[in-house]
């Protein structure tokens, strides 16, 4: 999924579950920032202090650094949560190990991830971790059928839209430009070869995967289920009855999926922000914004830098850094990654560390 759902829709669902405007904004910002936190390493301060942050995303077409694209510590815990074939811990899907790694919607692994997040909600970064968990959770619908490693299961051919019209594949589109870099190894990682089809809420499409299986996808239906289940997660987090979204709100969200049918995620995102400000969802008018990097971003507020990439040699330390949203996000991201890779996945016989 893209910024329209990870940020705009997530805010709507969080508000519907009972979070305040500001709480929902933290959750939604953290959910989207998972796709934008691409830098990693130590931050140094002028007083000798230091802080280590991690990357929760890589640029999919960073063809100059193919090794980074294969980094399972990024793709597996933050974008393509293994589904274990939809089976509980202690059971194995038929086939080879790859079937354990393929993402499945609302899997037992995803439920365990949510439970660990809720158990950790007393932490200062509780809402930030909930945002990260939200991103991974609803992506189990968007990224279903794909795995966070380079494998033939991710290969995509014969993409068709709802009308049976053929779509140009990622391989065909870029091979002529990057053949000198990839040669015969165009990455079959995640859903890269499916372009942005898995992320677009208005798409109904089909394709054949690398195992020769035809896959039919109905994003509007899948994503509406994801929104409803996400609301239940938020209600559980708040200790309330898990009734999900109201029927009227589900209808409104479904209508947005249908109306906001452009392929550009940023355009769809702005329409969500406009709808929120116009109180289209009946949750109160609110001016929601998102700045990934630069002036006004969480990083700028925490460190005073407006650099989008790279870092200054050192930063002036301020006590406010310790309680900044940017630090809390990375605190939560580190805890999330450790929990998923070291605690949850081994219970399912999955080792990716």
When pLDDT is averaged across residues 308-335 and rounded to a whole number, the result is: 88
**pLDDT at 51 exceeding the cut of 60:** yes
Task: Give me the residue label for tokens 């990357």.
Answer: 55
pLDDT tens column, 89-118? 999 999 899 999 999 999 999 999 999 999
Residue of 85, 73, 141 whose CA lies nearest to 109: 85
When pLDDT is averaged across residues 76-95 and rounded to a whole number, the result is: 95
pLDDT tens column, 173-201? 545 444 444 444 555 555 555 556 777 89
Question: Which range, of 185-189, 230-234, 318-322, averages the lowest pLDDT?
Answer: 185-189
Question: Which range, of 6-20, 65-79, 133-147, 289-303, averages the lowest pLDDT?
Answer: 65-79
Give bridge partners of residue 82 from the DSSP assignment: 103
pTM score of the predicted model: 0.91
Give the residue with greater pLDDT, 25 vs 215.
25
Task: Provide the pLDDT for residue 195.
Answer: 58
When pLDDT is averaged across residues 64-74 and rounded to a whole number, the result is: 62
Q: Is 138 part of any domain?
A: yes
Task: Give me the residue label for tokens 């709802």.
Answer: 162
Q: Is 44 exposed, middle or buried (0-12, 13-18, 19+ CB in 10 A)?
A: middle
Task: Provide the pLDDT for residue 66.
Answer: 53
Task: Provide the pLDDT for residue 165.
Answer: 62
Q: Is 96 part of any domain?
A: yes
Average pLDDT, the chain: 88
Q: Is 252 part of any domain?
A: yes
The angle, 0 to 180 degrees and rounded to 10, between the axes of the packed helices 108-119 and 126-142 is 170
Rounded to whole angstroms, how far apart are CA atoms 137 and 230?
8
Tokens representing 216 are 């039919």
Task: Provide the pLDDT for residue 97.
Answer: 92
Contacts 24+ apart (CB under 8 A), 2-5: 2/35, 2/196, 2/199, 2/200, 2/265, 2/268, 2/269, 3/32, 3/35, 3/265, 3/266, 3/269, 3/290, 4/201, 4/260, 4/265, 4/268, 4/269, 4/271, 4/272, 5/138, 5/201, 5/223
Give bridge partners of residue 51 from the DSSP assignment: 43
With a CB cutoff of 8 Å and minimum separation 6, the contacts of 130 are 27, 30, 117, 121, 234, 237
Q: Is 353 part of any domain?
A: no
When pLDDT is averaged across residues 42-70 and rounded to a whole number, the result is: 75
Task: Provide the pLDDT for residue 308.
Answer: 59
Q: Is 239 part of any domain?
A: yes
- Give phi and psi for 330, each to the nearest 5: -70, -35
- Domains in the chain: how many in total? 1
Give the structural domain span for 292. 3-348
Task: Give me the residue label for tokens 């815990």.
Answer: 77
Task: Provide the pLDDT for residue 132.
Answer: 98
Check if the beta carbon of residue 74 is closer than 8 Å to that of residue 58.
yes
The DSSP-derived string for 212-273 is S-EEEEEHHHHHHHHHHHHHHHHHHHTTS----S-HHHHHHHHHHHHH---S-HHHHHHHHH
**pLDDT at 170 exceeding the cut of 50:** no
pLDDT tens column, 153-167? 888 888 877 766 666
Longest dimension (CA), the chain: 62
Q: Is 150 part of any domain?
A: yes
Q: Is 220 part of any domain?
A: yes
Give bridge partners of residue 304 from the DSSP assignment: none
**pLDDT at 313 exceeding the cut of 50:** yes
Q: Is 236 part of any domain?
A: yes
Rounded to whole angstroms, how far apart are CA atoms 110 and 115?
9
pLDDT tens column, 114-152? 999 999 999 999 999 999 999 999 999 999 999 988 888
**pLDDT at 284 exceeding the cut of 90:** yes
């Amino acid at each position: 999924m893209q910024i329209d759902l990870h940020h705009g829709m997530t805010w709507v669902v969080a508000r519907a579950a009972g979070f305040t405007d500001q709480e929902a904004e933290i959750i939604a910002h953290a959910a989207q920032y998972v796709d934008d936190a691409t830098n990693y390493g130590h931050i140094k301060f002028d007083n000798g202090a230091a802080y280590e942050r991690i990357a929760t995303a890589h640029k999919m077409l960073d063809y100059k650094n193919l090794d980074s694209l294969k980094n399972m510590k990024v793709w597996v815990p933050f974008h393509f949560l293994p589904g274990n074939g939809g089976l509980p811990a202690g059971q194995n899907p038929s086939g080879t190990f790859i079937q354990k790694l393929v993402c499945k919607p609302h899997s037992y692994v995803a439920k365990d991830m949510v439970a660990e997040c809720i158990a950790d909600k007393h932490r200062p970064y509780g809402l930030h971790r909930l945002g990260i968990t939200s991103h991974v959770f609803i992506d189990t619908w968007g990224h279903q059928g794909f795995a966070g490693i380079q494998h033939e299961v991710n290969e995509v051919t014969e993409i068709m839209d709802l009308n049976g019209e053929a779509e140009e594949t990622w391989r065909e589109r870029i091979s002529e430009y990057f053949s000198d870099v990839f040669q015969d190894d165009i990455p079959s990682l995640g859903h890269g070869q499916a372009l942005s089809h898995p992320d677009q809420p208005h798409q109904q499409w089909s394709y054949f995967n690398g195992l020769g299986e035809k896959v039919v996808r109905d994003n509007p239906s899948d994503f509406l289920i994801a929104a409803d289940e996400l609301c239940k997660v938020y209600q559980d987090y708040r200790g309330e009855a898990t009734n999900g979204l109201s029927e009227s709100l589900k209808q409104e969200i479904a209508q947005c999926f249908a109306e906001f049918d452009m392929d550009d995620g940023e355009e769809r995102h702005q329409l969500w922000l406009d709808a929120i400000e116009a109180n289209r969802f009946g949750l109160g008018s609110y001016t929601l914004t998102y700045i990934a990097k630069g002036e006004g971003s969480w990083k700028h507020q925490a460190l005073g830098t407006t650099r989008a990439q790279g870092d200054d040699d050192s930063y002036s330390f301020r006590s406010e850094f310790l309680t900044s949203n940017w630090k809390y996000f990375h605190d939560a991201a580190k805890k999330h990654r450790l929990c998923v890779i070291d605690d949850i996945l081994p219970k399912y016989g999955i080792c990716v560390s």
